[in-house]
Amino acid sequence: MSAIIEIKNVTKEFKVLNRREGLKGSLRDLFSRDYKTVRAVDNISMTIEQGEIVGYLGPNGAGKSTTIKMMTGVLEPTSGEILIGGGVPYQNRTKNAQEIGVVFSRTSIRSPMRTMRG
């Protein structure tokens, strides 16, 4: 059997703006932006062989959707390596898209369906 999915030490970080409150805060944000780093995926590794059926579980905000986005080439990992069928997903988006199926919907904090989406 050969590994069809190979994920090695993958981390994904997002830079997000720390928004300040009110009109005064918005104006200050315009001139001096205060960013923080959110680590959405923290050093994950896995190997999946051809023919294996797997589930990927975790609480809300654990990083599941971010992982799938990296596996489908929508996002590039901050560090680490992903090989899907021997290729690097974000470098092979067209070829990758012909071979996989993925469904995304928006995650909303207010949505009661949150655990089923995103």
Ligand X SMILES: Nc1ncnc2c1ncn2[C@@H]1O[C@H](COP(=O)(O)OP(=O)(O)OP(=O)(O)O)[C@@H](O)[C@H]1O
Residues of this chain that interact with ligand X (CB under 6 A) are 14, 16, 38, 40, 58, 60-66, 107, 114, 118
65 sits near Mg ion (criterion: CB under 5 A): yes
Q: How far is the CB of 107 from Mg ion (least distance, A)?
A: 6
Q: How far is the CB of 104 from ligand X (least distance, A)?
A: 10
What is the token pair recorded at 61?
């905000």
Select from 55, 50, 47, 41 the least CA-distant residue to 13: 41
Whether the CB-CB separation of 6 and 47 falls below 8 Å is answered with yes
Which among Mg ion, ligand X, none contacts residue 40 (Cβ within 5 to 8 A by kind)? ligand X
Stretch that binds Mg ion, among 34-42, 65-73, 74-82, 88-96 (CB under 5 A): 65-73
Q: How far is the CB of 71 from ligand X (least distance, A)?
A: 12
Expressed in angstroms, the distance from the first to the final Cα of the chain is 32
Distance CA 103, CA 115 (A): 15
85 sits near Mg ion (criterion: CB under 5 A): no
Distance CA 18, CA 11 (A): 21
Q: How far is the CB of 104 from Mg ion (least distance, A)?
A: 8
